[in-house]
A and B are shown apart, each in its own frame.
Chain A
Amino acid sequence: MPPEADPNQLLLQARNGDAGAREELIRRFTPFILAVVSRATGHFIRLGEDDEASVGLMAFNEAIDSFRPGGGSNFLTLAETIIRRRLVDYFRREGRHRRVLSLQALENETAATVDPLGGEEINLVNELADRRREIERYREELAEFGITFKDLVKASPQHRDARDRALAAARVVAANPLFSQYLRERKALPLKALVKSMETSRKTLERHRKYIIAAALMLMGDYEYLADYIGQSKRGGQDA
């Protein structure tokens, strides 16, 4: 399977019985599976070390077969739903769900007894609503800095190296209280200080100014899901 194959294409091929495409799809989406499992269980999951990771992989495999293209649902949302369901099944079987399931999952346990699939779906719906609220808050904070999501598409560094450098600059700003304060109060990057501490050219920082501000705000603010999301790539890469 060529490594550059389109994931949507891989999904269709996998559904049509192409084992290679299925394997490749699961391999590529292992970081996603681990992120979903980690969120659902509340602790960091490693491939090859935690059983939950295998449950997630098998559930993702099941989602490939269950997915109906054009059926109104998005594949990754369906996959997330199935992974959560299978984790609940797994914890019940293992009899140790009380230790690892989130408080919300425990609260939904009564409902889930009546409808074994209901509880985790409710959790996912709630989580999606939380995510939407978090994204909305983030959009509003960006607007205070005169930045829109469209601006970020234009300002997003194309090359991986340049993006990593810009993200590193954002992390420096977020981690340094003086820099953070400067950004919040003056609505601008502390370029001089940042040039010194990063040993990067002022021009580079200026070029990616909007992108760095947006990333720094994400890391500085109460954006748990978003801040975690842009860290998943590295984590997933190591795990996978």
Chain B
Amino acid sequence: MLDAERGLVVARQGNEVIVLTPEGEWRTLHLTGLLPEVGEEVMLPLVKKRPPWQAMMAAAAVILLLFLALPLARRAMAPPTPGQLAFYINIDINPSIELAVDDRERVLSARGLNSDGEKLLAGVALKDEKAAIAIQVLTREAVRQGYYLPDRQGAMVVTVIPAAGASQEKLAAGDELGQKLTREARNVLQQARVQAVVEAATVQPEIRQHAEATGLSAGKYSILLEALDAGLPVTAADLQKDSLARVLARFDSNWEQLLQKLQQDKDLLQKEQQLGATLKRALGQQVAGGNSYDNQRGNERGPREKAENIAGNQDQPGQSSNRNELEVAPGNKGTRVEVFTEKGRSGTPGIPGESLRPGHNNQIDRVDSVKGEKKNWEIKSSRED
């Protein structure tokens, strides 16, 4: 045997795997196809051996270059320093995943936005990888884990959100990044012979905040807005449970066009305002009469204020706990908010029988999911003039 023919995968990072060969050699492999899992054996590409004089020439050339470009070389050899957070990227397949990337498009962090997303991330290391590599890895992993199947409808929405501000410049940069990422994902899916609609959209930072409050990713929330605008009776609960492709296909045979429309829509905040009560119903909120959201708020803000119910105890709502709190963003002064559980017992989580303090707003009638956990707190609002 000349060289190792196979290796056992012991680690994965981005598009690379580290293998141990039966000959006891440790090697790094750069792979373009589907990444094998740790514990699997892979066939090793041939290592081309160069004649010794060629190796010496190469070494001499490298030394010369290093001398000529010493400052540059130093910079290149230094470990990458994390840059400033520039974009959030939501990738929705179902799994839903969020990447935070810096201004050089390097991944600062990755998190699963649902349990499938966490499962997908469990086997991959993306930190410090370029976003383009990260999406390749995630797409391959999604194929591997069976989220895309040959001859089945599939979809992926890549939603880019500027981390702060929504100037034209930032949105345009987001569009460019989104297009780049969809190209990478399409290539991987094509190699895997999977037919899937892959679209990108850039949305304002507020949309991400509103989406987070509903327990949806920014991508799914944006699709919800487009679907409602198109007259489809889709709800947030549908999108929480199932993949985009499956939910949309249930309601509309031309759902692919909806994804394309999302890409062209540049102001989802305006759409959010226009949808008003329809959106509230889709989010599972009560549309109150005299104290309705639309009447109270006018068209100044989006339909959702941030609501966070941190670690509430659903089964024992009357019990006080310091961990339980309901945070509602400032809104109409003098408004009381009462919180009811599904069983009809009143009380805010952690504050039995009490309403929230005046000065906090009451824009939420019902919270079905907060931070991805089902809480089922019903919030009833009333005026305190």
Chain A residue with Cβ nearest B8: A229
B144 to chain A, nearest CB (A): 6
Verify if B24 is at the interface (C-beta below 8 Å from A): yes
CB closest chain-B residue, reference A7? B43
Are A229 and B22 closer than 8 Å at their CB atoms?
yes
Query: In this complex, what residue of B is CB-closest to A133?
Result: B39
Tell yes or no: B316 within 8 A of A by CB: no
Given A70-B193, A230-B24, A233-B22, A8 contacting B11 (CB threshold 8 A)? no
Q: Judge if A50 is at the interface, Cβ distance under 8 Å.
A: no
Residue of B33, B44, B143, B192 touching A7 (CB-CB under 8 A): B44
The answer to whether the Cβ of B169 comes within 8 Å of any Cβ in the partner chain is no
Q: Does B371 sit within 8 A of A, measured CB to CB?
A: no
Known contacts A8-B45, A128-B39; decide if A229 and B5 are in contact (CB<8 Å).
Answer: no
Interface contact B144-A226, CB-CB below 8 Å: no
In this assembly, does A123 line the interface, its C-beta being within 8 Å of a C-beta of chain B? no
Would you call B60 an interface residue if the criterion is a C-beta within 8 Å of the partner chain's C-beta atoms? no
Contacts of A155 in B (CB 8 A): 26
What are the residues of chain A within 8 A of B76 when measuring CB–CB? Answer: none
The yes or no answer to A3 lying at the interface (CB within 8 A) is yes
A114 within 8 A of B: no
How many residues of B are counted as interface, with CB atoms below 8 angstroms from the partner's CB atoms? 38
Interface contact A28-B39, CB-CB below 8 Å:
no
- Chain A residue at minimal CB-CB distance from B28: A153
A215 interfacial contact with B, CB 8 Å: yes
Question: Are A31 and B191 touching (Cβ within 8 A)?
Answer: no
For A77, the chain B residues whose CB sits under 8 A away are 36, 40-41
Contact partners of B41 in chain A: CB under 8 A: 32, 74, 76-77, 80
Q: Using CB atoms, name the residue of chain B closest to A127.
A: B39
Is B38 part of the binding interface, using a Cβ–Cβ cutoff of 8 Å?
Answer: yes
Asked if B5 and A32 sit within 8 Å, CB to CB, the answer is yes
Q: Which residues of B contact A230 (CB under 8 A)?
A: 20, 22-24
Report the minimal beta-carbon distance from A136 to chain B, rounded to whole angstroms.
8
Instruction: Mark each residue of chain A from 130 to 163: 1 if its CB lies under 8 Å from any CB of chain B, else 0.
Output: 0110011011000000000110110111001001
Asked if residues B37 and A6 are in contact (CB atoms below 8 Å), the reply is no
| Cα separation A229 to B4 with both chains bound (whole Å) | 12
Bits for A197-240, please: 1 = Cβ < 8 Å to B, else 0: 00000000000000100010000000000100111110011000
Residues of B within 8 A of A6 (CB): 45-46
Contact of B23 among A69, A72, A233 (CB under 8 A): A233
Q: Are B6 and A29 in contact (CB under 8 A)?
A: yes
| Closest Cβ–Cβ distance, residue B155 to chain A (whole Å) | 18
Q: Which residues of A contact B38 (CB under 8 A)?
A: 131-132, 135-136
B329 interface contact, C-beta 8 A: no
Chain B 262-300, CB-CB to A under 8 Å as 1, else 0, gives: 000000000000000000000000000000000000000
**Which residues of the other chain, A, contact B85 by a CB distance below 8 angstroms?**
none
B42 touches A76 (CB 8 A): yes
**Which of B90-129 touch A at CB < 8 Å?**
none
Whether the pair B37, A153 counts as a contact (CB closer than 8 A) is no
CA distance A129 to B40 in the complex (A): 10
Residue total for A at the interface (Cβ-Cβ under 8 A): 51
Interface residues of A in 1-52 (CB under 8 A from B): 3-8, 11, 28-29, 31-32, 35
- Per-position 1/0 for B1-44, Cβ under 8 A of A: 11011101011000000101111111110000110111111111
* B262–chain A nearest beta-carbon distance, Å: 28
A85 to B20, CA, bound (A): 26
Residue of A nearest to B1 (CB): A237
Verify if A60 is at the interface (C-beta below 8 Å from B). no
Contact partners of B20 in chain A: CB under 8 A: 226, 229-230
- Choose among B26, B144, B146, B193 the residue that contacts A149 (Cβ–Cβ < 8 A): B26
Asked if A236 and B143 sit within 8 Å, CB to CB, the answer is no
Chain B, 69-96, contact with A by CB distance < 8 Å: what is the 0/1 string? 0000000000000000000000000000
Contact A153 B40 (CB under 8 A): no
CA distance A157 to B150 in the complex (A): 43
- State A203–B34 Cα separation when bound (angstroms): 41
Asked whether A74 and B25 contact (CB < 8 A) given A29-B6, A229-B8, A230-B20, the answer is: no
B33 surroundings in chain A (CB, below 8 A):
69-70
Q: Are B18 and A150 in contact (CB under 8 A)?
A: yes
Give bound CA distance, A28 to B46, whole Å: 13
The CA of A38 and the CA of B43, in the complex, are separated in Å by: 20
| Shortest beta-carbon distance from B114 to chain A in Å | 22
Q: Are A131 and B43 in contact (CB under 8 A)?
A: no
How far in angstroms is the closest Cβ of chain A from B6?
A: 6
Q: What's the Cα separation between A135 and B2 when bound, in Å?
A: 27
Q: Is A167 in the interface zone, CB < 8 Å from B?
A: yes
Complex CA distance for A178 and B37, rounded to whole angstroms = 37
How many angstroms between the C-alpha atoms of A164 and B10 in the bound complex?
21
B190's nearest neighbour on chain A, judged by CB, is A70
Q: Check: A95 CB closer than 8 A to any chain B CB.
A: no
Of A7, A132, A150, A153, the residue contacting B39 (CB under 8 A) is A132
B193, A156: Cβ atoms under 8 Å? Answer: no
Q: How far is the CB of B45 from chain A (nearest CB, A)?
A: 6
Give B1 Cβ to nearest chain A Cβ, in Å: 6
Q: Whole-angstrom distance from the CB of A129 to the nearest CB of chain B?
A: 8
Q: Which 5 A-B pairs have the closest CB atoms?
A: A131-B39, A233-B22, A152-B26, A232-B22, A156-B26
A to B CB contacts below 8 Å, 12 in the list: A6-B45, A7-B6, A71-B193, A129-B39, A132-B39, A152-B26, A156-B25, A163-B24, A163-B25, A233-B1, A233-B22, A237-B1
Q: Interface residues, chain B, CB within 8 Å of chain A? A: 1-2, 4-6, 8, 10-11, 18, 20-28, 33-34, 36-46, 143-144, 146, 150, 191-193
Apart from A8-B45, A71-B192, A237-B1, what 4 extra A-B contacts exist at CB < 8 Å? A6-B46, A29-B5, A71-B193, A72-B143
